[in-house]
Amino acid sequence: MRRFLMMVLLATACLTGPGWAAEQWGDLTATFLFDAEAPKAAPLKITKDTEFCNKFKVLDESLTVNPKNNGIADVVAYLYLAKNAAKPPVHPAYQETAKAKIKLDNNCCRFAPHVALLRTSQVLLMTNSDAIGHNCKVDTLSNPPINFTIPAEGKLDHAFPTEERLPAKVSCSIHPWMSGWVVIRELPYMAVSDADGKLAMKNLPVGTWTFQFWHEKAGFVRQVRQDGKTVEWAKGRVDVTIKPGVNPLGEIKLAPAAFAE
């Protein structure tokens, strides 16, 4: 019996390979900060279904800065691969969500979340928590664009099987102030900063990789202040050597000029 158990353990080790070892993976973290006094989000002009939508304080989310710590929300990061580059291994933990449904809700006359992360193997679940109808219009380039009506308390599934080079704009044809974004990537190595500006990309394979940084108001995140120095990230890309454990980029400060239209 003991010999049988040993054979099972050895076979399992051969099947899983070294990719399961903790020393083969690391996390990338960063905190994005607005390098000036935090701007206040302006209220959006409600032009349709005013009786319902005016019940909510609908704000412009194109640049959301936390006044408590100047953290910038909705900075997007993903692993960038040159054309025809070999794809990295994917950590087994991502298998659990490979076929998951990612929710994008019409909620209080806005999209929630403002930025959704979607893998090509996953499904976008468009829902409507409001008591009025909405549209979900997604302007993709590599996938056929969509424009679906979502009735009150309704829902609709849709898959995007092809990776998008840039985040895809989401809008509502009925309520023109509503906007959001969907990041559609084949690999799971992507992240978006939270309300405090904190971003974490988990379980990356060790090695030197290129990461793309983007924000809807800034476009590619190019000029930043890191460790007290001004640094240029060409085309919003930066090379990082991922080591086992946590790999912090630290505080990344962006000047107001980075968001000038």
Q: How would DSSP label each residue in 40-84? A: PPPBPPP-SSHHHHTTS--B--SS-B-TTT-BBP--EEEEE--TT
Domain boundary among 141, 162, 188: 188
Let me know whether 84 and 212 are in one domain.
yes
* 255 falls within a domain: yes
Tell me the CATH number at 197: 2.60.40.10
Backbone angles phi, psi at 37, to 5 degrees: -65, 135
Length of the chain: 261
pLDDT at 80 over 60: yes
Let me know whether 184 and 195 are in one domain.
no
Structure token digits, residue 198: 């904190």
pLDDT at 4 over 70: no
What is the average pLDDT across 10-17?
36
* 120 falls within a domain: yes
Q: Which contiguous run of DSSP H or E holds residue 144?
A: none
Locate tokens 């809700």: which residue?
105
Tell me the CATH number at 107: 2.60.40.420
* 109 falls within a domain: yes
pLDDT band, residue 261 (cuts 50/70/90): low
* 5 falls within a domain: no
pLDDT band, residue 21 (cuts 50/70/90): low
Q: 216-256: per-residue pLDDT in tens?
A: 999 999 999 999 999 999 999 999 999 999 999 999 999 99
Let me know whether 83 and 110 are in one domain.
no
Let me know whether 31 and 84 are in one domain.
yes
Distance separating alpha carbons of residues 176 and 162, to the nearest angstrom = 27
* Count of structural domains within the chain: 2
Percent pLDDT > 70 in the chain is 91
Question: Pick the residue with more confidence: 185 or 8?
Answer: 185
* 218 falls within a domain: yes
Domain boundary among 167, 188, 209: 188
pLDDT at 6 over 50: no
Q: 23-72: per-residue pLDDT in tens?
A: 699 999 999 999 999 999 999 999 999 999 999 999 999 999 999 999 99
* 182 falls within a domain: yes
Structure token digits, residue 126: 């468009």
The alpha carbon of residue 42 and the mean position of all alpha carbons in its chain are separated, in whole angstroms, by 23
Let me know whether 180 and 129 are in one domain.
yes
At 107, the amino acid letter reads: N
Q: pLDDT value at position 22? A: 60
Let me know whether 116 and 175 are in one domain.
yes
Query: Containing domain of residue 219, as a range?
Result: 27-48+75-88+191-261
Distance separating alpha carbons of residues 38 and 72, to the nearest angstrom = 9
* 61 falls within a domain: no
Let me know whether 231 and 198 are in one domain.
yes
pLDDT band, residue 84 (cuts 50/70/90): confident
Question: Pick the residue with more confidence: 18 or 28?
Answer: 28
Cβ 131 vs Cβ 51: under 8 Å: no
Q: pLDDT value at position 83? A: 87
Q: pLDDT value at position 103? A: 98
Beta strands in 3-65 (DSSP E): 25-34
Q: 153-169: per-residue pLDDT in tens?
A: 999 999 999 999 999 99
What average pLDDT does the chain have?
Answer: 92
What is the average pLDDT across 183-200?
98
Q: pLDDT value at position 260? A: 85
Q: pLDDT value at position 231? A: 95
Q: pLDDT value at position 9? A: 36
Domain boundary among 188, 203, 224: 188
Let me know whether 81 and 195 are in one domain.
yes
